[in-house]
Amino acid sequence: MVWGSRRDVHAGLAHRRAARARQHAEHADACADKQEILAAMAGTDAQLHLRLADSYRRSARYHLSSARLQQAYADRMSAWGGDETSRPRFMTGVAEACGTSSAALTLMGADHGQLSVASSDEPSRSAQDLEFVLGEGPAHDAAASGCLISAAGRVIASRWPAYGPALISLGVHEVLTAPLRTEGTCIGALAVFDPGDGPAATGALKVIADALTRTVLLGPDADPELYDDADHRDCVQQAAGILSVQAGCRVQDALAMIKARAFADGQPPDAIAERIVRGTLKLAQGR
């Protein structure tokens, strides 16, 4: 897809999704208004209508948040000049909505392993790579517990003995992470780095995490690929398959070897994987 076509398609999709999200928000607010009127007339049954009104208000907030994220992306994409190095990322708008420049979204499987990642900038992607390589960190904890995870300063290093010092070396002083919760399960986490707004950042993160889960990642208008920004680590998986044949071991063990080499060399796992796929790096001799 040439850059002009890609720009127009993505901008058009985002504009339409933003418009539909605003319509959903307006409908939810109207339903909340109706329930509040019924509550005023219901007497002893008022609490039921008030609970319904509150549910509709929350839904309106999620849809309105989604509309803002979509509109921000549409505006950036419309203004994009075609230089691939400056191509707008959907996660850039997510980060700004959370009051920072660094945000990372991670979708996880039942074992809390990374299935797909997306980030707003290089520091947030490096933080994701650290979690992938080390098997510990805020996204893992948020998804496993279903709770908000917050750590700053020395707590980062003490809470995650391997991940913490490495994250601090990236220049990060605070991390705030919300689970991406659905009915009865959790599909991942949204982390922001150095948000710096205290309780306001926490409130914004919760709303945006729920908006992403309910309207961007899931639902009729969902785009879990985040306008082609999602990375499934295909190269790493391919390299693990190649290495498992070379070493005569399980794919999981080969993947662990790639992670260990990435950590030892201080390189992203994708860089190690690319060398294995090209045949310029061999971590084991064949049987």
CATH fold group of domain 91-217: Beta-Lactamase (3.30.450)
Mean pLDDT of the region 71-95: 90
- Pick 258 or 5 by higher pLDDT: 258
Reported confidence tier of residue 286, pLDDT bands at 50, 70, 90: very low
Token pair for 20? 């539909």
- Express as a percent the part of the chain with pLDDT over 70: 96
Residue 61 has pLDDT above 60, yes or no: yes
pLDDT band per the 50, 70, 90 thresholds, residue 287: very low
Q: How confident is the model at residue 285 (pLDDT cuts 50, 70, 90)?
A: low
pLDDT for the residue numbered 271: 96
The predicted model gives 105-116 an average pLDDT of 92
pLDDT tens digits for 25-37?
A: 999 999 999 999 9
Report angle CA 259, 112, 225 to the nearest 5 degrees: 90
Q: Pick the more confident residue, 203 or 187.
A: 187
The pLDDT confidence band at residue 133, using thresholds 50, 70 and 90, is very high
List the one residue out of 272, 259, 273 whose CA is nearest residue 130. 259
Look at residue 224 in the predicted model and tell me its pLDDT: 93
What is the pLDDT, as a whole number, of residue 1?
46
* pLDDT tier at 81, thresholds 50, 70, 90: confident
Q: Which of 193, 188, 206, 190 is nearest to 99 (CA)?
A: 193
The per-residue pLDDT for range 207-235, each reduced to its tens digit, is 999 999 999 999 888 999 999 999 999 99
Residue ranges of domains in the chain: 3-86, 91-217, 234-278
Give the mean pLDDT of the chain: 92
pTM for this predicted structure? 0.91
What HEC string does the chain produce? CCHHHHHHHHHHHHHHHHHHHHHHHHHHHHHHHHHHHHHHHHHHHHHHHHHHHHHHHHHHHHHHHHHHHHHHHHHHHHHCCCCHHHCCCHHHHHHHHCCCCEEEEEEECCCCCEEEEEECCHHHHHHHHHHHHHCCCHHHHHHHHCCCEEEECHHHHHHCCCHHHHHHHCCCCEEEEEEEEECCEEEEEEEEECCCCCHHHHHHHHHHHHHHHHHHHCCCCCCCCCCCCCECCHHHHHHHHHHHHHHCCCHHHHHHHHHHHHHHHCCCHHHHHHHHHHCCCCCCCCC
Q: Mean per-residue pLDDT for 228-255?
A: 94
Residue-wise pLDDT for 2-52, tens only, equals: 556 878 899 999 999 999 999 999 999 999 999 999 998 877 678 999 999
> Please, which residues have CB within 8 angstroms of residue 47's CB and are 6 or more apart in sequence?
39
